[in-house]
Structure formats: C-alpha cells, structure tokens
C-alpha cells in the first residue's frame, strides 16, 4: 500500500485490531499531527471550558472522516475512541503551552483589594512569595494568582517590598503616574495621591522607575542606596544617592529614628503615619530632633515623647494638633 493511498478509517481499524504496520502507524501519526487544531488557542476560542474544547476537536475529526458514500459507523465509533485518546494528549500538550489561558477559564484570578487604617501597619505575602510591609493609610491591589508576563500590583500610599526574584516575570508597581519595575530586590515606594513628591528608594538589587507618559530613555535605573524622586507638578524624574536607605528596614514596621532631622520632617512623617494635621509655632520647624519614635503607639503618647525631648507642648483643636514651645519659667 502506497502512502498516498492510505485510508484514515482503514488505518484506524487496523490500529484498533493491532494489525497496523510500523510504516502505516507513522503515516497515521503524521496525519493527526497535521490535523487543523487552531481552536486549542484558547485566548481566541469561543469555548469556555476544556470539555467544550475536547468535544469540538472530536467533532472536527469525525467530520473529516465521515462521508455520505461510506458511513462506516462501526469504524467511526472505533476511531472516535482513538480520537478521544489523541485529543487528551493534544490537550495536555497545549495545556503546557497555553496553561495560563486554560487556567483563566477554569479558575480565573481574582483581584485583592486591601487598605490599611491610619496608625496601623500590616505585612502581607503575595502569591509568588513576595513580602510587603504596608504603611498606614495605604491601599494596594493585586491578583490572587500571578499568571501574566508581569507580576502587576497597584499602590497608593507607602510600602516596603521584598520581591522574590523571577527574571521571566518582572514585578511591576503602578503607583500614581510612576511605574516601578524590578526582578527581585528590596525597596521602598512612597506615592501618596495627595502629595506632589513620590519616592522610590532601593535597599538591595536594581530598580527601574519611569513616568507613564515619558519615553523610556528618560527612565532612571537605581542600585542600593539610591532613590528616584518624581515631581507631579513639573513631571521631573531625578535620581540621587541616599546612603541611609537601610533605615526603611525599621520604618516598614513603624519605627523611626532621627539624628538631627528638622522638626518639620518629623511632623511630616507623623502626619502620614497617623493621618493627622499638625501645625508648628513660628521658629521651631528647623529645630533638630534626635531620638526614636514608634508610630505603632497612640498618637497622644507619641506627641508626649516628642514634646518632652524638644521642650514643647501640644494641644488639639478639632482634628488639628498644635505644637509650641513651653512657656518660660518665672
């Protein structure tokens, strides 16, 4: 029997009976490999489940084999069993190539939304093992399963990231107008929606930062002890050295240390941590503060400690706090 005279239905019967020759088996396997299986590309398929896809493949095989002149129903039934087994193999092969598309149909990923209350800190772990320390008043959104080319999360507020390395799936943070891309590293992102300045500070590894609408040639690449500063008003993105980047390892849990920082800087930190508004009396904003602050404590207790060190007193009117020097002692 010549190759060009082989009959698919006859070979199917011989395969079932165990009488097929090696040459015939090679031809039959080649025929099936050349079968039109475009519908297994689930991203463009009308089928919603693997079961629907399997039935469609079997129907197409049967349609190619059956003709009005030769019903051959018994052989078709035998071939349907063979085709069913082959279709399973085919599905397994394409499941490996298009597993994400299949999984998104069978078990779609869900978006997780999380907001941290003012004065609270929270640590979470993502599906890939990445750990994140969320600062107070921060909102984060991420899928409960990472299946896309990028591991994408969105952030409003401040968070410290310890990203698991995966060179094939970059970790991307969308924070306002900034896009931060990493493969595996630790860094801090500060991007509150109501603040003009956003910052990305690198503790370890390498991080790329880019403004959405700026060309890639204007992105900045940072290594440890560097940070990117972005100004929303003039859309200026710059990189600078930041030797104290390791301080974020403590700040991620709410512990702040100051070595002569201006009082205004300390108050800015407290305002974000506690979601409060604080005014300073004239002349004290530049005074240097040395000490430690635990923002996990109540705001009143924190202000008591701060004022004790700085010889200040605080008061509250409505939702606003006021700091001023102690009155002179007579």
Query: Using alpha carbons only, how large is the chain's radius of gyration in Å?
Result: 32
Rounded to whole angstroms, the Cα distance separating 131 from 163 reads 6
Q: Residue 166 gets which letter from DSSP?
A: -
CA distances from 113 to 145, 171, 195, 229, 324 (A): 13, 18, 22, 26, 40
Count of residues making up the chain:
330
Rounded to whole angstroms, the Cα distance separating 328 from 330 reads 6
Q: Which residue has the higher pLDDT, 288 or 9?
A: 288
CA distances from 175 to 13, 178, 204 (A): 63, 5, 20
For 206-250, how does the pLDDT look when each residue is reduced to its tens digit (9 = 90+)? 999 998 766 655 789 999 999 999 999 988 899 999 999 999 999
For 23-68, how does the pLDDT look when each residue is reduced to its tens digit (9 = 90+)? 777 776 666 555 433 333 233 344 444 455 445 545 554 554 444 4
Residue 212 CA neighbour count, 13 Å, CB half? 7
Domains belonging to the chain, first-starting first, are 3-106 (no CATH), 111-247 (2.60.120.1440), 254-325 (3.55.50.30)
For 272-316, how does the pLDDT look when each residue is reduced to its tens digit (9 = 90+)? 999 999 999 999 999 999 999 999 999 999 999 999 999 999 999
Q: Which tokens in the block code for residue 166?
A: 């995966």
């Amino acid at each position: 029997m010549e190759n060009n005279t082989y009959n698919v239905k006859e070979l199917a019967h011989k395969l079932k009976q165990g009488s097929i020759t090696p040459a015939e088996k090679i031809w039959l396997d080649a025929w099936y490999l050349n079968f039109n299986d475009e519908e297994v590309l689930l991203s463009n398929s009308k089928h919603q489940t693997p079961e629907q896809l399997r039935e469609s493949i079997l129907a197409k095989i049967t349609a190619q084999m059956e003709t009005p002149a030769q019903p051959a129903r018994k052989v078709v039934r035998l071939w349907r069993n063979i085709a069913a087994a082959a279709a399973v193999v085919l599905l397994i092969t394409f499941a490996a190539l298009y597993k994400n598309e299949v999984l998104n149909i069978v078990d779609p990923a869900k978006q997780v939304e999380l907001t941290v209350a003012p004065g609270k800190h929270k640590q979470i772990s993502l599906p890939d093992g990445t750990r994140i320390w969320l600062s107070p008043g921060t909102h984060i959104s991420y899928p409960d399963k990472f299946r896309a080319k990028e591991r994408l999360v969105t952030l409003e507020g401040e968070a410290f990231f310890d990203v698991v390395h995966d060179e094939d799936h970059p970790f991307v943070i969308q924070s306002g107008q900034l896009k931060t891309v990493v493969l595996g590293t630790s860094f801090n992102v500060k991007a509150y929606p109501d603040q003009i300045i956003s910052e990305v500070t690198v503790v370890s590894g390498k991080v790329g930062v880019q403004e959405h609408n700026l060309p890639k040639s204007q992105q900045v690449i940072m290594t440890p002890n560097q940070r990117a500063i972005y100004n929303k008003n003039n859309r200026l993105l710059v990189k600078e050295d930041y030797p104290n980047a390791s301080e974020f390892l403590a700040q991620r849990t709410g512990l702040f240390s100051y070595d002569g920082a201006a009082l205004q800087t300390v108050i800015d930190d407290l305002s974000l941590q506690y979601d409060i508004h604080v005014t300073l009396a004239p002349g004290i904003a530049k005074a240097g503060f040395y000490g430690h602050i635990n923002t996990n404590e109540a705001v009143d207790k924190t202000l008591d400690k701060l004022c004790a060190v700085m010889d200040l007193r605080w008061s509250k009117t409505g939702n606003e706090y006021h700091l001023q020097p102690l009155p002179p002692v007579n």
